[in-house]
Structures are given as structure tokens and as C-alpha cells.
């Protein structure tokens, strides 16, 4: 299972073809990554579909950095510490917060 940070990095690469060597947590989506408004909306939509969450418009307008985006996902998805991957598929118990 991917962490929110890894998932967001993957989506940036897969959906928007952004391939920096590393993603700084404080990277600004517009200034540092050069995303346009529609690319940010597309990224948010991909995150909502991937994590089965909703980012409301009010909250979306306040997200400027990767770190803020990761924290937004973390607020809505709780992955139990007891979850571990041992090479076989285990049931995943997730609690979704809206």
C-alpha cells in the first residue's frame, strides 16, 4: 500500500508527466512544479478517485504545496498501524473521514 505522499508523487508522474528527481514536501504546486489551475484540478480529481475521498472547493483553494495536499489526504484516510504487507494480500481495514 502506498502512503499518501508516494501516491501523490506517482500521480504527478503518471497523470501530469512531472518527473523531478525528488519532490520537496514544501514544493509549491504552481511556482515550483509549474502546474496550471486545470492541472491542479486534474490532480485533485485523481487523488479523490485513488483514495475515495472528497476535497471540497473551499479546502482545495487553500492547498498550495505537496505537504498541504498530503495532509489533506491523511486527514481523511486512516491506515491502521497494525497493517503490514508480508508478500500476500491481507484484508485492509480503512476508516474514511469526510
Q: Give residue-wise pLDDT tens across range 21-46.
A: 677 888 999 999 999 999 999 999 99
Dihedral, 67, 28, 6, 83 alpha carbons, nearest 10: 10
pLDDT, mean over the chain: 81
Q: What is the pLDDT of residue 18?
A: 85
Q: How far apart are CA 51 and CA 84, in angstroms?
A: 18
Which CATH number goes with the domain that contains 22?
1.10.1200.10
Dihedral, 78, 63, 14, 46 alpha carbons, nearest 10: 60
Q: What is the pLDDT of residue 80?
A: 54
Proportion of the chain above pLDDT 90, given as a percent: 49
pTM exceeding the 0.85 threshold for the entire prediction:
no
Range with lowest mean pLDDT among 7-16, 73-82, 83-92: 83-92
Q: What is the pLDDT of residue 82?
A: 52
What is the count of structural domains for the chain?
A: 1
Identify the domain containing residue 14 by its residue range.
4-96
Query: Which of 86, 2, 85, 17 is CA-nearest to residue 50?
Result: 2
Q: What is the pLDDT of residue 25?
A: 85
Helices (H), 1-98: 4-16, 37-51, 57-60, 66-76
Q: How far apart are CA 86 and CA 92, in angstroms?
A: 13
Amino acid at each position: 500500500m502506498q502512503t499518501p505522499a508516494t501516491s501523490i508523487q506517482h500521480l504527478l508522474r503518471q497523470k501530469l508527466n512531472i518527473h523531478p528527481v525528488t519532490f520537496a514536501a514544501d514544493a509549491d504546486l504552481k511556482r515550483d512544479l509549474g502546474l496550471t489551475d486545470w492541472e491542479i484540478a486534474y490532480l485533485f480529481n485523481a487523488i479523490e478517485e485513488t483514495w475515495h475521498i472528497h476535497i471540497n472547493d473551499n479546502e482545495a483553494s487553500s492547498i498550495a504545496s505537496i505537504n498541504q495536499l498530503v495532509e489533506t489526504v491523511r486527514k481523511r484516510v486512516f491506515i491502521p498501524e497494525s497493517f503490514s504487507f508480508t508478500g500476500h494480500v491481507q484484508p485492509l481495514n480503512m476508516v474514511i473521514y469526510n
